[in-house]
Structure 1
């Protein structure tokens, strides 16, 4: 028998003698000690559970928590209601959802110096953290509450990820609507201020020529000749408006040659010609009109920015390629420079326009700039979502 066990048996014998008044028989202390040891762990667990219930509220029920949380998520409840359900189940002072260190939603009161944190992952992406404020004087949650947090972490992560995607979609749609309204405003201004007066002048000149035919034929002829020039100006204005909607070169030359024609005159900041190499398939498949325009605008806009920030030694590389065989319905446009920039790119109308063009057809645009150069990548779907 080990020294510790012998001490325990002797202690039991001493307690027996104090209570009964006589020394217990041989083997009785050892039997009593074994019985007490066997019952200690269940009793300890019951005491801990009772203490947790006294301090944290009723014991957290994983099934009930998942049922209530599932009801909230199915009903499309906002994040604060998710947290209210968890807080009432766990019985904690406060609970919060955080993304990138910023609170998305909070229920109850939070003490950042006394919290426990559960990371939320949607696949491999870290989408946020579930932060639980502990009751005063406690260093951790009871096991039942920890088990509940482990169970709800996955559905909460998916719901938070979906909510963030929905917000990004809302913002993207807002940008598209804004871009469309700006385009309509531009067309209205061009038609009202340019083409409208030109056509009105043509109408008045025509009336004047009709009135002069009988009384002054020579002047009528001069008026008609002037009218011919006015009509030519109106045609030019119509073409300008139409080409603003879709570059003429796309229809006449195709995407690759249209881009080549447009960027050929570009020069670096010091006036030297900008060297641009273009790598593209010999024959691209038929592209949706919106995809073709987006690819053209991104390519031209990115090369223009490279030229603006180039120090004169930069060479730009433009690549047009279809995606890997696993995803053939994708056109990737990549523009990269090989020299240092004279200044960093700053978001402006041009860059914002590129983002809007890509987002409105369901594509993605990434711009990566460093002092050593910049890379612009646009992934454009060949099948535009409805």
Structure 2
């Protein structure tokens, strides 16, 4: 396969020159391995083929890099040409002078205009592909981090419990004929350890996905959590205030993508925990609705956002969950008092399985 860095088409002028540059750019587009390599290649072709003193191509920053490539030294008055995509600015191409101090000929202006007109969509797509590649890498890293966490959890917490149960069963088997009472006592102890192991397995499962979502769905799971929280507050002798909770919903909240469902549930639970611990509220209303996305609103009549303490981690978690999905997070204290948390989560179609 040809190395794009060694592309050296024959010299020509006029229309043949324009075709030669177009051919070189197409070759670069086809063989570039990364968006930054593509930008550098386009800049190098324009700098070399048009004998320009300075070329700078910018398509805006992306998660993969700054989106800027430049070569040469500016000479005289620069010429800046906008790059557009679907009528919106997507970057710009800046050139200045010939390397020998001569101005850029009109025929080369026309070539640059044509390149700028056609490069906008191509480079915009390249940037999106670069962002997508980085995003996919981020998903893979996150997945491996989660696997590592689970491996450590299994090794450090569940592993010793199961190993202890195994040793205990061997000891009980030896004692059954010689000392049956001691064996029975040991088996009872092993039963307790087994229950602890089962509880640990459930805890690990809950860190992945709350079981209530699988068993009930989002709306019933939220209702169950509200009932459980209210019961705990009533049984807490140290709690001076009792909160009256209400749940309202609009739209179809069933069959949501799993990632949206988990985020909405976790956000509601965290917001309600803040209300129970810090608000001093008498009433709290949870509003869940779905239109194009899911909207979560938790409103209380407590002391207000500015008067709360110890709220950093909980609010940070809600904000991060919304940001991960491209949603929005708002917390405010209305003039009438209390606190209002509003989160919107976009819902994108789930890709069909192949």
Common fold, TM-score beyond 0.5?
Answer: yes
Question: What is the aligned residue count?
Answer: 311
Sort the Cα spacing of 1:216 and 1:309 in 2 relative to 1 into closer, same or farther, 3 A. Answer: closer
Alignment correspondent of 1:79: 39
Q: Decide whether the 8 Å contact of 1:94 with 1:132 is kept in 2.
A: yes
* Match of residue 68 from structure 1: 24
1:249 is displaced (CA, Å) by 1.0
Distance, in Å, in 1 between the alignment partners of 2:40 and 2:127 is 15
What is residue 203 of structure 2 aligned with on the other side? 240
Between the aligned partners of 1:315 and 1:131, the Cα distance in structure 2 is: 57
Matches within 5 A, 1:170-319: 170-262=133-225, 265=229, 278-281=248-251, 283-287=252-256, 289-297=258-266, 300=269, 318-319=287-288
**CA-atom RMSD in angstroms:** 4.3
Mapped to 2, the partners of 1:171 and 1:236 lie a distance apart of 38
Stretches of structure 2 lacking an aligned partner (at least 5 in a row): 1-12, 234-240, 335-339
**Residues 90 and 379 (structure 1 numbering): CA distance in 2 closer, same or farther, change over 3 Å?**
same
Residues 137 and 210 of structure 1, relative CA distance in 2, 3 Å threshold: closer
**2:56 matched to 1:96?**
yes
Q: Measured at CA, do residues 99 and 257 of structure 1 come closer, stay the same or move farther in structure 2, by a change above 3 Å?
A: same
| Alpha-carbon contact 2:322-2:344 (below 8 Å) kept | no
Q: Please, what TM-score do these two structures have when normalized by structure 1?
A: 0.65
Aligned-partner Cα distance in 1 for 2:319–2:50: 48
Identify the residue that residue 384 of structure 1 maps to in structure 2: 351
Greater radius of gyration (CA): 1
Query: Closer, same or farther in 2 for the Cα pair 1:89/1:255, shift >3 Å?
Result: same
Q: 1:147 to 1:381 in 2, by over 3 A?
A: same
1:333 aligns with 2:294: yes
**SS of corresponding position for 1:93:** strand
The TM-score, its normalising length taken from structure 2, stands at 0.70
Partner of 2:238: none
Q: For residues 229 and 306 of structure 1, do their structure 2 counterparts lie closer, same or farther at Cα, with a shift above 3 Å needed?
A: closer
2:327 is the counterpart of 1:365: yes
CA distance in 1, matches of 2:22, 2:275: 53
- 1:109-130 Cα offsets, whole Å, 9 max, x none, are 236x832211111114322111
Flag as ranges the 4+ runs of structure 1 deviating above 6 A. Answer: 136-140, 302-317, 337-340, 343-347, 368-374
Comparing 338-347 with 190-199, greater Cα deviation is found at 338-347
Q: What does the per-residue CA deviation read over 1:76-113, in whole Å, with 9 as the maximum and x for residues that have no partner?
A: 362111112222343321111124596611122236x8
TM-aligned CA deviation for residue 293 of structure 1 = 3.0
